[in-house]
Structure 1
Amino acid sequence: MSEQSRPGGTVTNPVIPGFHPDPSVCRVGDDYYLVCSSFEYFPGIPVFHSRDLVNWRQIGNALDRPGQLRLPRDTPSSGGIYAPTLRHHDGRFWLIVTNVSGDGNMIFTATDPAGPWSDPVRLPGVHGIDPDLVWDEDGTCWCTVAGISQVRIDPATGETLGEPHRVWSGTPGSTAPEAPHLYRIGAYWYLMIAEGGTERGHSVSIARGPSPCGPFEPCPANPVLTHRGTDSPIQNTGHADLVQAPDGSWWMVLLAVRPRGGTPAWYVLGRETFLAPVEWVDGWPVVGAVTSELPGPPWPLHPAPAVPARDDFDLAELHPQWISLRARPERLCTLKERSGWLTLRAAGASLDENDAVFVGRRQQHLACRASTLIDPTDGRGGLAVRLDEEHHYEIEAADGEVKVFARIGSLRTEVAARPVPAGAVVLGVEIAPRPTRGPRTGPDDVLLGIEEPDGTFTALATLDGRYLSTEVAGGFTGRVIGMYAAAGTVHFDRFDYEPLPLP
């Protein structure tokens, strides 16, 4: 999935770059599987596989059918699917998650994590986000949610068995106890949570007790992980999960961000998945440094097959990396109408609308370039860099003309326009990080333009990337780059994405 092998026995962090927050991991034999939050995007909950915890390949999306994932048109950006937990028990994979925009907490199961996953088992008696599943020695299943409260459930039916009860509220004075995960390790049950909110104060704390429901004794060194108040280029560390490797070593996956620029520094890729080693000292976990260069694990690395830089839309179905807004009905998005082309039919009139027809992929590199060949003869559409309905830049083609638009909060404006020959045209976006020269320096520039007949890129507009950042827009997601239809029917022959070297 990413460039993970480095000379000198180190690997790069994040291990899953781009908007991949709230990681949850489990191991089955020599294989690791990991899932992340997906919010308002469909399909939901990307599923990854690895043999080494370092190189990850997306093998599917757990929620890929409308019956599994209902996101109404009025689902807000950063609504939808929150914080899944993935576990393997009794020969099956179990996935519990919250749809905050309608269906509440749900459980899905599969024998193959690549899918298909079951229809949902709903949990009407479980209230709260960030649900966790664990089974104790006698087979009782416990569900713990943010808060931190817990209840016994029947995971096959969704029935609650008893009343929910508080088990641990985290560190006194800290806010937002969430992301609970329970583990039986040695003689204790450990309850690990996130605290401090998912911004710069984010942290990980842990407690232990004699049973899944406590009573819990907090670790005297809490928080066991935080980067708050530091000058680390990696910030917002939290929402973690633990996994033990076959050699007995322990590892943590967690979310964090890479802010850039001046003050307050802006992160644009969303919250990403990082890896850290864990040692156990006196019965408590000690988390190693979360850095961009991580000492490699003491086993061979297994590079995952790279996602092709170009998608020619020649397959029967879209690659699982492609995501859309809230739904993807075939009548509006199809590979079957024109062979080797992706066809989009407009619903919403622009990306300002919740029902915009959009197919994109997460921006995963701080510097990158993307382009697509569009035929707008029968409509109007283009290539966009999106954070939400109120924060996006796009270059749009109609037959014989291209325009650049910017939506920043309540302002929508046409930035540039240029006539082009009628018919197909190549639209491009380039993300160029800025050198930090002062406290007001933004994180990057977003260049939008066209590809000339000789293959050179001509930027029609250069826009400040800070306005497509979480610090400006708010929310929980990151940038997604993709194609959209704004009127009629538009066809896309290919999509190219490539990382660029950092300046």
Structure 2
Amino acid sequence: MTSINPIIPGFAPDPSCIKVGDWYFLVNSTFHFFPGLPIYASQDLVSWTQIGNAINRPGALSLAKSRTKPVTQDNGCVLLAAGGLYAPTIRFHDGTFFVDVWSNNWSDPVYFKFDGIDPSIFFDDDGKVYIHGANNVGGSSAVTNFEVDINTGELLSPERVLWSGTGGLYPEGPHIYKKDGWYYLMISEGGTLEGHMVTIARSKGIWGPYEECPHNPILSARGTDEYIQHTGHCDAFQDGDGNWVGVCLGVRKDGEGRFVMGRETFLTRGNWDEDWPSFDPVKLDPTGLEPKQGYVSPTAAPNVEFLYIRDYDMTRYSILEGGALITLTPSATDLSHPEMSPTFIGRRQRLLKGESSATVKEGQDSWAGKHVKTGLACYKDEFRYARIYYDASISAVVFELNHFLQEKMKTQTHPVKIASTLSLKIEYTEQDYHLSFRSEQSSSGSWKTLGVVDTLDLTGSDYVGPVIGVFAVAEGPEARVDVLDFTVN
């Protein structure tokens, strides 16, 4: 049987999930990509469809300052901390979704004052609404809480510390649940890498004091040889039969340290005895959660899965037939810019083993003298990407690997004079990417591999996963690039 985990493969960190009627709704982080906060729907917790994005209108908020910042940790490891949209929570209350879902008729964001990360929302029985998140208090991290007017964002109470966790690094990703008269505060600790774990505490009042679960951590892969590692940032809910289930992030990590797909969304069976919850270790085939009608890879409504970088200019893109024809207007901004938005449109890489491809149509006179570069890229952030493209200024196909932080750069050039079209392809496994091209002048129709990238070069201590897309860069007056049959697996 095909494994069902991860239920949302590829770039899908920080999941939050709820059940409303016969449907489950799930949301993930997106950081510096637009549209932000994808919403997925399912009726069986196994087969999912992306139905929209909560931040889907240019101008709703700006991602221009969502640059990726290298942060050196205590162990010397450099964490690539992406800015932007972090760790959303989805909840349903009095007929309204927060984050709203199912149509694309989202409201503009309601802002509230909070100098922290990972805010979550809790609707209490008495009608009060609380926001809790991770904050720095007196030089150390803790989970704080405050009452809020959900319609205006006005704070209705002081912000107070609830719990600092069990002593692990970075207590974050909090969610509050109310059960049998107790408030349960579930958080993640240990950082989002090897030490990641889920812990929990409870109190008779929302403001505490909170007592720790004697069995913490209630979910973690640290210190194990499990294939799925870094598990944490969990959200708990009950399925249609009343069973407890958890969604969490994790990575598929091979024996040499590769986890190129980044943080993905996994499903695991939970149990809540009289006092405390716990979760099974995360497996590719979780016990008791087998698909009823077979596993189906996530699907998407038309065009909702396309991603852009930061504050994209919608006038640069024309999309027909779901990507069968994409017309790009190049800009002078390249993929390495930390704040501006290059001309780039992509989709998440969903498969460990698969391929993506596109065909570039030669612009003839419109490219003359404009130094047009256009092609296919596997992009994570401004520090790391691999790409294969046509450089009109030198009439050549170029392969590049850029890992600016490690000063690891490779390039290879092959002269090609195209008359009408040039096809580009990226094939991938867990171990490597193969970047190839084929021109219409090739009599054999065979592909020529121009570069190979070890996935270790795109694996790292980071927040994001690979997004594969087509891009166009040019100097001078506007040019036009037509891309045919863009596909991503």
Which TM-score band applies after superposition, normalised by the shorter structure? 0.7 to 0.9
- Give the CA RMSD over aligned residues: 2.3
Does residue 136 of structure 1 match 2:124?
A: yes
Residue in structure 1 matched with residue 380 of structure 2 by the alignment: 387
SS at match of 1:158: coil
SS at match of 2:90: strand
Residue in structure 1 matched with residue 109 of structure 2 by the alignment: 120
Contact 2:344 2:471 in 1 (8 A): yes
Residue in structure 2 matched with residue 89 of structure 1 by the alignment: 93
The alpha-carbon deviation at position 298 of structure 1 amounts to: 7.8
The amino acid across from 2:448 in the alignment is T
Is the alpha carbon distance of 1:334 and 1:194 closer, same or farther for their aligned partners in structure 2, counting shifts above 3 Å? same
The alpha-carbon deviation at position 413 of structure 1 amounts to: 4.4
Contact 1:43 1:327 in 2 (8 A): no
Residue in structure 2 matched with residue 168 of structure 1 by the alignment: 163
Residue in structure 1 matched with residue 400 of structure 2 by the alignment: 405
Instruction: State how far apart, in whole Å, the 1-side matches of 2:417 and 2:302 are.
Output: 30
Structure 1, unmatched stretches of 5+, are 1-5, 96-109, 309-316, 434-443, 499-503
The count of corresponding residues between Structure 1 and Structure 2 is 449
Is the alpha carbon distance of 1:456 and 1:187 closer, same or farther for their aligned partners in structure 2, counting shifts above 3 Å? farther
Does residue 153 of structure 1 match 2:148?
A: yes
Out of 448, 464, 477, the residue aligned to residue 458 of structure 1 is: 448
How big is each residue's C-alpha offset from its partner over 1:138-171, in whole Å with a ceiling of 9 and x where there is no partner? 1000111112110011110100012111111110
Residue in structure 2 matched with residue 322 of structure 1 by the alignment: 306
Contact 1:50 1:304 in 2 (8 A): no
Q: How does 1:170-249 map to 2 (within 5 A)?
A: 170-171=165-166, 173-249=167-243
Q: How does 1:334-413 map to 2 (within 5 A)?
A: 334-335=318-319, 341-354=325-338, 355-377=341-363, 378=367, 379-399=372-392, 400-409=395-404, 410=407, 412-413=409-410
The alpha-carbon deviation at position 397 of structure 1 amounts to: 1.2
Instruction: State how far apart, in whole Å, the 2-side matches of 1:497 and 1:334 are.
Output: 18
Residue in structure 1 matched with residue 36 of structure 2 by the alignment: 44
Out of 241, 258, 262, the residue aligned to residue 266 of structure 1 is: 258
The amino acid across from 1:465 in the alignment is T
Is the alpha carbon distance of 1:299 and 1:331 closer, same or farther for their aligned partners in structure 2, counting shifts above 3 Å? closer
The alpha-carbon deviation at position 267 of structure 1 amounts to: 1.2
The alpha-carbon deviation at position 408 of structure 1 amounts to: 1.9
Instruction: State how far apart, in whole Å, the 2-side matches of 1:225 and 1:18 are.
Output: 21
Residue in structure 1 matched with residue 423 of structure 2 by the alignment: 426
The amino acid across from 1:118 in the alignment is S
How big is each residue's C-alpha offset from its partner over 1:70-103, in whole Å with a ceiling of 9 and x where there is no partner? 11166337110000010000100013xxxxxxxx
The alpha-carbon deviation at position 261 of structure 1 amounts to: 4.4
How big is each residue's C-alpha offset from its partner over 1:41-62, in whole Å with a ceiling of 9 and x where there is no partner? 0000010000011111100111
Instruction: State how far apart, in whole Å, the 2-side matches of 1:301 and 1:15 are.
Output: 15
The amino acid across from 2:93 in the alignment is H
How big is each residue's C-alpha offset from its partner over 1:394-420, in whole Å with a ceiling of 9 and x where there is no partner? 101145431111212245443232314
Contact 2:32 2:66 in 1 (8 A): no
Instruction: State how far apart, in whole Å, the 2-side matches of 1:132 and 1:374 are.
Output: 44
The amino acid across from 2:360 in the alignment is I
The amino acid across from 1:127 in the alignment is D
The alpha-carbon deviation at position 299 of structure 1 amounts to: 8.2
Residue in structure 2 matched with residue 486 of structure 1 by the alignment: 473
Contact 1:149 1:165 in 2 (8 A): yes
SS at match of 1:66: coil
- More divergent stretch after superposition (242-251 vs 209-218): 209-218
Contact 1:21 1:37 in 2 (8 A): yes
The amino acid across from 1:117 in the alignment is W
Is the alpha carbon distance of 1:348 and 1:185 closer, same or farther for their aligned partners in structure 2, counting shifts above 3 Å? farther
The alpha-carbon deviation at position 380 of structure 1 amounts to: 2.4
How big is each residue's C-alpha offset from its partner over 1:271-295, in whole Å with a ceiling of 9 and x where there is no partner? 0000001112232112112111223
Contact 1:361 1:480 in 2 (8 A): yes
Instruction: State how far apart, in whole Å, the 1-side matches of 2:408 and 2:472 are.
Output: 21
SS at match of 2:26: strand
- More divergent stretch after superposition (393-402 vs 38-47): 393-402
How big is each residue's C-alpha offset from its partner over 1:192-230, in whole Å with a ceiling of 9 and x where there is no partner? 000000010000001111122222111100000111111
Q: How does 1:3-42 map to 2 (within 5 A)?
A: 6=1, 11-42=3-34
The sequence identity of aligned pairs, in percent, is 37
Contact 1:193 1:204 in 2 (8 A): yes
Contact 1:57 1:304 in 2 (8 A): no
Residue in structure 2 matched with residue 101 of structure 1 by the alignment: none
The amino acid across from 2:459 in the alignment is S
Out of 410, 422, 432, the residue aligned to residue 445 of structure 1 is: 432
SS at match of 1:26: strand
